[in-house]
Amino acid sequence: MNTVLTDVLEKFSALDEYKSLIKHPRKEKINLTGLNNLGKLLLLSAASRDLKKKLIYVIKNESEQTSLAHSLAELSQTPIYTYPDLKSEQINRQQYIQNLQIRTRSTNALKSDTPGLFIFPAQNLIEPLTNPAHLMSLEINSTKNPEEILANLIAGGYERQQKVFQAGEIALRGGILDVYPIKAQYPIRIEFTGNQITKIITFDPVDNRTINQLDQIDISGLKNEKMSHYLLDVVEARPADYQLVFNQADELFQLLYELYQGNNHHDNNILTTISKQLDKLPVWQLVSISENDKTIRFDLTDAPLFANDLSRLAVALATYTSKKWQVLLSTSKPDQIIPALKDHKIKHGKDNDDLVRLVDAMTWDGFTSAEMKLVLLTDKEIFAPLIEKSIAAKPTPKKRQLAFLAQIEKGDYVVHADYGIGKLTDITTMTVNDVAREYLIIKYAGADKIYVPVDQIDKISKYIAPVGEKPILSKLNSQSWKRLVSQIKKESQEFAKELLDLYAKRALKEGITFDSPEFWEKALADSFAYKETPDQEQVIEEIISDMEQSKPMDRLLVADVGFGKTEVAIRAAFKAVTSGFQVVVLAPTTILVEQHLKTFTERLAPFGVNVAALSRFRSVAEQKRVLVGLRTREIDVVIGTHRLLSKDVKFANLGLVTIDEEQRFGVHHKEKLKMLRAEVDVLSLTATPIPRTLNLALSGIRDISTIETPPMHRLPIQTTVAPFDMSAVRDAVLNEIKRGGQVYFVHNRVATIASMTNKLKEVLPEVRFVYAHGQMPERLLAKIMEDFRNNQYDCLVASTIIENGLDNPNVNTLVVDNSSHFGLSQLHQLRGRIGRGKVQAYSYFYYNPGKLAGKALERLKTIAGHTELGSGYQIALRDLQIRGAGGVLSKKQHGHISAIGLTMYTKLLNRATEELRTGHKPRVDTITVDLPISAYLPASYIDNEAQRIKTYQSLALVETDNELKDAIAEIESKFGKLPKEVINLFELMDLKITALATQKITLIMSKNEGGIRQIPEQIITIGLNTIIKDKNVLGALENLGSRLSEKTIKIPLSKLGENWLASLKKLIQLLK
């Protein structure tokens, strides 16, 4: 075992929390929190060593077993057993036999007296344990007919071969019968004289060397014999010998219910039985959040990310070592790290006692632990980019908008465009007619399932509907799905017409064509203190292009908190002002108005732009001055709350309205905004779009831009969700103050905000506190905010007035009290107030123990699980699921979304909108390609299943030759040299892109058909949506011996030559 890992394991074992767990074993359930991935492995390894029991680790997905077993083998001396699935019986015989052998060993070890570490997928809790069925026993000198034995073995699943090499094989040569039993370590040779068994030996199949002589043998079949008892029955019989550990326990029980529902389970009481058994058995539940009194809280959290910023790494190391923490730098690139350490005078070495210790590269994720005074940083944390680059560099806008809705993983309910709602159960490789491909297995009603080639993954989307509305699986051999889609398609066309009518007034009205000198735009861009991200540059181009058109702009800009929306709005405002028009910037709160006033003035005042504000922070005299300035055009840009929508506000020449977080405005204000939309250009900004806004944008009614790339050096915010603990609050606040920063403490009850501030002062007398809320007098609130910005206070105790738009780079710790009372987008917006510079930021969402359940629990689990940069989209989507889809559109649309899923519904609405808007049928955007070539991402190339599925989905977004080139380069840089199967996959993608460009082809597939004299030959069929009349094409087809009808072209594969794929592409290019 790696000595570094041994040291880490020993430090973990010395934790008080761990010792309490081991020394005082509980017979009831106990929750364990604060363990990241490596922390869980440390727990399992240490406990399996110290308890001297059989540890049973229950996980969600069967696919995780192998990698978990490998990881645990590096840490643990305890034997490790897995329990792989047997569904591959129909797919791959050898894999089935191998899995059956592994399961048999695991079942035997489970019932033995020897300690072990067992990894069980949750599925196996509701299925009886399995064992190969006993077939026969054979003894020396007994009389048996070898031909009858052979027939019985074949009936039991064995396969006859010339010579046996693998389990499940048999060979009969004269009076010698070789058999490789499923439970045996070696094959067995049985020698006959006539029908009498004269000798039984085990032998080495490679060199035929005899290993042992036997008197008798028992042979089991390859068919599954389900035992009468379940996993928990074995544990219940001897509970003192076992320790159950449930990973992601808060999700496992829901998964068990779904598995039970989908399996047509013969035991109707199995879930009740499991629940009763678990109440009496020793169970450790690993959870992300726990409000249970029986909770042990560890503190192993994910390590911070440095994204190749070695200077920042060195500063962090200095901070850790000043607290006498040890930092393990596990790296394959010491030559890059050591110079940075020397530049910052960081002492380092390779010995156990060195506080900064360089060790060999490991495959683990890093972690930090204050209790262990230990940090592990690997190349992933030190060098990996903060956001994984998309395979398709720049997918088309609509595809990019829909892509985040479609991310799927095993266990998800999915929608196949042709077959309806099913459940994605597995991903597997199959070889048919010597062609290997990877398939997604989707389960439908009853026992039906389909195998979808991964190159057709664009036909599959995740089923999204409100939580609690479980989908009904479609029946494969039924027309009901097609009828349902046809009906909803028709009604979506009617609804699209209604939506388009709403926006028709704008489309018919001649809009403003903004025409300003380019040198002004360049001067403003050059004055920007930061480098624009690629997404920012693209969005600015899109908006400027809109403003130069005569049609009124109505664009939604979605960008996560702190990703640079305001700078984009400033560029648009400057374009309008230098074209001779005025600009309105609407913000939902007075504090945000002041923030925008400061930012817009700093950026635009040097260019002579007059920026003013109108809100309740302003005196009556100031408001009058602003109103006059708007009428006389002395003011170019006015920033304000809904006060700007009042009747007394008149403009000399209004051209652009920018609305920040439109969903925060009331119904009455939105009606006024709707009227404005028919007159001027409108730009809406949001971080977490509400469902209706999202839907309008996705359906194509409104234009949408997205900024998905974070600013340089921006770091994900470290997020903690836990029960309220004043001592933990004290530590969080002091840690920030000690590094020279400031803190937001959110307490959203005006009646008790003063008393909470006093409590904090008692616990933290050395900290300068002040509180603020929206009901304060305007001038007092403005002064407090300004004083806090000027660092006259350390901690601002505030209501949700800080939620939108505040930008104070010195505030990098957020504490939220009673976080379960907030909406999901609110929590995300609050977290976005910190971490806006290069400093690592920390957010703490506290809740009252015992008062967490239902939707509040779901919200906190979501905010804890989405800490990555740019997660606003995912949070908006999850918010839709938690809150329900009732507010998305109408009751009828809600029903449609439940029936076919949000993604499928959005696609139908999108196409209906495009058809109504253009008067033409939408472009063909998908083609079925099924050709005799092995094309997929082998598991040996990308071993992680979830990563493979994600990569297939990214590749499905590729639509152009340039995007394909980028995808090839990206795949090769991430995973290494392309194997033949991946090269083939890209060639098929190239063919599909070429076919899509023609807009005439619906499918390309091959099958064996009767050729001349009815001898089967491989025929390629090209499906068409138009009649071919071009003489050049017809001539080329005739030369190939093709058969042409109105809707199909049939070409013998042999006529296309050895390089038939390239020849086929050339033929398709002719169809353009």
For 77-99, how does the pLDDT look when each residue is reduced to its tens digit (9 = 90+)? Answer: 899 999 987 765 445 677 788 88
The percentage of the chain sitting over the pLDDT mark of 70, rounded to a whole number, equals 84
**DSSP conformational letter for 752:** G
- The CA-atom distances, in angstroms, between 119 and each of 13, 250, 285, 907 are 21, 18, 15, 41
Q: Given this model, what pLDDT does residue 267 score?
A: 62
Q: Where are the alpha helices (DSSP H) in 614-725?
A: 620-632, 667-677, 691-698
Residue 551 falls inside a structural domain: no
Q: Given this model, what pLDDT does residue 578 score?
A: 93
pLDDT of 881 > 70? The answer is: no
Residue 615 DSSP SS3: coil
Q: Given this model, what pLDDT does residue 794 score?
A: 96
| Same structural domain, 104 and 180 | no
Q: Given this model, what pLDDT does residue 376 score?
A: 94
Arithmetic mean of pLDDT, 611-622: 85
- The CATH number given to whatever domain includes residue 205 is 3.30.2060.10
Does the global pTM surpass 0.85? no
Q: Given this model, what pLDDT does residue 401 score?
A: 46
Residue 671 falls inside a structural domain: yes
Q: Where are the alpha helices (DSSP H) in 790-838?
A: 824-831
β strands within 897-951, DSSP E: 928-930
The residue among 244, 272, 298 that closes a domain is 298
Between strands 29-35 and 295-302, the pairing is parallel
The residue among 803, 838, 870 that closes a domain is 870
Q: Given this model, what pLDDT does residue 191 score?
A: 94
pLDDT of 251 > 80? The answer is: no
**Confidence band of 229 (pLDDT split at 50, 70, 90):** confident
| Same structural domain, 111 and 164 | no
pLDDT of 453 > 70? The answer is: yes
Query: Phi-psi region for residue 434, left (φ > 0), alpha (ψ -120 to 50) or beta?
Result: left
CA distance 537 to 831: 26
> Beta partners for 224?
132
- The CA-atom distances, in angstroms, between 859 and each of 36, 178, 395, 823 are 20, 61, 31, 7
Q: Given this model, what pLDDT does residue 323 score?
A: 84
The percentage of the chain sitting over the pLDDT mark of 90, rounded to a whole number, equals 31
- If you compute the radius of gyration of the chain from its CA atoms, what whole number of angstroms results? 33
pLDDT of 594 > 80? The answer is: yes
Residue 390 falls inside a structural domain: no
* Choice among 256-270, 437-451, 958-972 with the minimum mean pLDDT: 256-270
Question: What would the pLDDT profile of 268-297 be if each residue is shown by its tens digit?
Answer: 677 888 888 888 888 999 988 776 668 898
**Confidence band of 759 (pLDDT split at 50, 70, 90):** very high
| Same structural domain, 579 and 649 | yes
| Same structural domain, 53 and 155 | no
Residue predicted with more confidence, 1033 or 690: 1033
What's the structural domain count of the chain?
6
| Same structural domain, 582 and 675 | yes
- The CATH number given to whatever domain includes residue 54 is 3.40.50.11180
Could you tell me if 1011 and 1029 are in contact, meaning their C-beta atoms sit under 8 angstroms apart? no
Burial 166-185 (b: 16+ CB within 10 A, else e): ebbbbbbeeeebbbbbbbbe
Q: Where are the alpha helices (DSSP H) in 281-346?
A: 310-322, 334-343
Residue 353 CB partners (closer than 8 Å, separation 6+): none
| Same structural domain, 591 and 697 | yes
Could you tell me if 407 and 461 are in contact, meaning their C-beta atoms sit under 8 angstroms apart? no
| Same structural domain, 171 and 320 | no
**Confidence band of 671 (pLDDT split at 50, 70, 90):** low
pLDDT of 751 > 50? The answer is: yes
> Beta partners for 684?
556, 659
- The CATH number given to whatever domain includes residue 846 is 3.40.50.300
Could you tell me if 37 and 59 are in contact, meaning their C-beta atoms sit under 8 angstroms apart? no
pLDDT of 56 > 90? The answer is: yes
Residue 1026 falls inside a structural domain: yes
Residue 80 falls inside a structural domain: yes
| Same structural domain, 663 and 755 | no
Residue predicted with more confidence, 666 or 31: 31
| Same structural domain, 13 and 100 | yes
**DSSP conformational letter for 473:** P
Residue predicted with more confidence, 343 or 1: 343
The residue among 683, 707, 731 that closes a domain is 707
Arithmetic mean of pLDDT, 208-220: 92
| Same structural domain, 865 and 812 | yes
Q: Given this model, what pLDDT does residue 404 score?
A: 45
Residue predicted with more confidence, 688 or 814: 814
**Confidence band of 41 (pLDDT split at 50, 70, 90):** very high
State both tokens at 146. Answer: 């070898």
State both tokens at 961. Answer: 């030759």
| Same structural domain, 723 and 847 | yes
Residue 17 φ then ψ, to 5°: -60, -40
Arithmetic mean of pLDDT, 707-725: 79
Full residue range of the structural domain in which residue 1052 is found: 999-1070
- The CA-atom distances, in angstroms, between 780 and each of 74, 756, 771, 776, 783 are 61, 19, 11, 7, 5
H-helix or E-strand spanning residue 436: strand 435-443
Q: Count of CB atoms within 10 A of residue 990's CB?
A: 18
**Confidence band of 867 (pLDDT split at 50, 70, 90):** low
pLDDT of 855 > 90? The answer is: no
Across 153-162, 477-486, 867-876, the highest mean pLDDT is recorded for: 153-162
Across 293-297, 517-521, 612-616, 624-628, the highest mean pLDDT is recorded for: 624-628
State both tokens at 1000. Answer: 């005439």
| CA torsion, ordered 95, 101, 106, 112, to nearest 10 deg | 180
> Beta partners for 119?
57, 82
Average per-residue pLDDT for the chain: 83
pLDDT of 889 > 50? The answer is: no
| Same structural domain, 694 and 819 | no
Q: Given this model, what pLDDT does residue 642 score?
A: 86
CA distance 124 to 443: 18
